[in-house]
Structure 1
């Protein structure tokens, strides 16, 4: 059990590293955020299954994470259509 928790913690740290080191590209930042959300989902799943609680919170968490991913992809598509690239700091997000 502790090896699995260590593995999910390493997934979270790798997602945090990706999010903080690849700040130029919006797509890589979104992938890092999704990696962190996935590891948090596994932590919550293990916690709820260990304490024998209901899993309704997991459904709500997955719905919110899917909405977050869809919102991030829509921002990415609008940025690529307006500016031509996904560089975050190359220009302002509103004026290209």
Structure 2
């Protein structure tokens, strides 16, 4: 059995499901951030498979994971600020001019 095709199929389904949740759940910021983190995890898995397939070192994964953690922390900071200001995380209650 060829595991390479199975890995790429699983990564592709992870990316498609993450994109589907990101596009369909645009009402709440928390769900949007969770779907973005799921997309980052699927990209991390894809990079892991790609680097392992070509026999390269995994140092890039450490840098990618560091930046994804920083991105998640900034997203949570924006979420906490939004909830303190408006009382909810509904994106529809925001105005573009207030940003």
Greater fraction of residues in helix: 2
Alignment TM-score, normalising by the size of structure 2: 0.90
* Alpha-carbon distance, 1:89 to partner: 2.0
Structure 1 spans left out of the alignment, 5+ residues? none
Match in the other structure for 2:89: 86
Distance 2:71 2:26 in 1: 18
Match in the other structure for 1:11: 14
* Alpha-carbon distance, 1:66 to partner: 0.3
Alignment TM-score, normalising by the size of structure 1: 0.92
Give the one of 61, 65, 73 matched to 2:68. 65
CA contact (8 A) 1:41 1:58 kept: yes
Secondary structure of the residue that 1:89 maps to in structure 2? helix
Structure 2 spans left out of the alignment, 5+ residues? none
Match in the other structure for 1:25: 28
| Runs of 4+ more than 4 Å apart | none
Aligned length: 95
Distance 1:76 1:94 in 2: 18
RMSD: 1.3
